Amino acid sequence: MTVSRVQEFARHTAASYPGDHGRLYAGCGLDPRQVAATVQNLLLHPVAANKRKVPLPDEVKDDPPARTVRRLLSRLLVRDGRPLSRPREPTARCFGTCRDHALLACSLFREQCVPARLRVGFATYLEPDFLEDHWVCEYWRAGSWRLLDAEIDLPSAAGLGIDFDPTDVPADRFLRSGEAWRRVAAGELPAARLGVSSSGIAGAWFAAGSVFRDMAVLTGREELLPWDYWGQASNFCANGKVPDTWLPAIDELAALTISADVDLDILLRVYADRDWLYLEDRVTSYAGGAPETVDLRGLD
């Protein structure tokens, strides 16, 4: 990818744009470790909170998923209005998923004109002998793309036995969705070992849906939620399988997104030309477990 195309990822999307809250980024720092520390000071995954016996405030339990950084920061400032660089108690943070951690990291990078994007894939380091659905931030540094897992702080790394730098995750520890699909399709990885372990969700259909979501974030259409489906992916999810007739199409998408060095021109052309892939204004979301149609227009 040419440097000019790389710079396109330094622009905010509707989801990463902080709006008036961008002024609060001052003092948060640009180094990947500083970005990760800022994110971890503002967000906490509910699973991590439970492990650390951090009680969820009552108002958090009714929070709908935050699709944008503006919504995340607005909630955060209600709970603690101090500058974002000031240390926060765990109960004064926002509680969000790996996607929220990655999106906020991208927002911090982009606000300082550093190219960054979400990547959808599967981590080998979160659950033993299982590839866990996971989202990370892929940022540009010293002429190459690197993976930042902004969710993994020091207590998490110690508890998981992580032996690498979470600000530069090795490619064999986080499989981008295209690579995960390739391994499933080739019989190198059992589909039953890939998904969301806590919910008992796994299978080739889930891997295919992740390829769709990775395409969406790479093409800048939208940084969706991990449980959003649209187009043909909705049918894969509803039926729990990918029909054999669709395997070549998913293989094509996976090949285009298998590494960091994607060809953005080809991705944009393919994304626009496949009506079964292209995301318009509505998704089927399983935020509460049951399918719900969500209109993406006008969300803050």
What are 131-190's pLDDT values in tens digits? 999 999 999 999 999 999 999 988 888 888 999 999 999 999 999 999 999 999 999 999
Residue 195 tokens read as 């998904």
Its domain, for residue 270, covers 3-295
Residue 158 counted as domain residue: yes
Residue 55 within any structural domain of the chain: yes
- Residue in the block written with tokens 């796994």: 202
- Average pLDDT of the residues in 9-18: 94
Q: Is 115 in contact with 139 (CB distance < 8 Å)?
A: yes
Tens-digit pLDDT profile for residues 216-242:
999 987 789 999 999 999 999 999 999
- Tell me if 139 is assigned to some domain: yes
CA distance 257 to 1: 13
**Stretch 125-134: mean pLDDT:** 95
- Per the listing, tokens 């991705």 go with 267
3-state secondary structure of 136: strand
Task: Report if residue 300 sits inside a domain.
Answer: no
| 46 part of a folded domain | yes
Q: If we measure between CA atoms, which residue out of 83, 98, 113 comes closest to residue 48?
A: 98
Tally the domains of the chain: 1
Cα 162 to the chain's mean position, in Å?
20
Q: Is residue 178 part of a domain?
A: yes
39-96, pLDDT tens digit by residue?
999 998 887 778 878 877 776 665 668 899 999 999 888 888 888 888 888 888 888 8
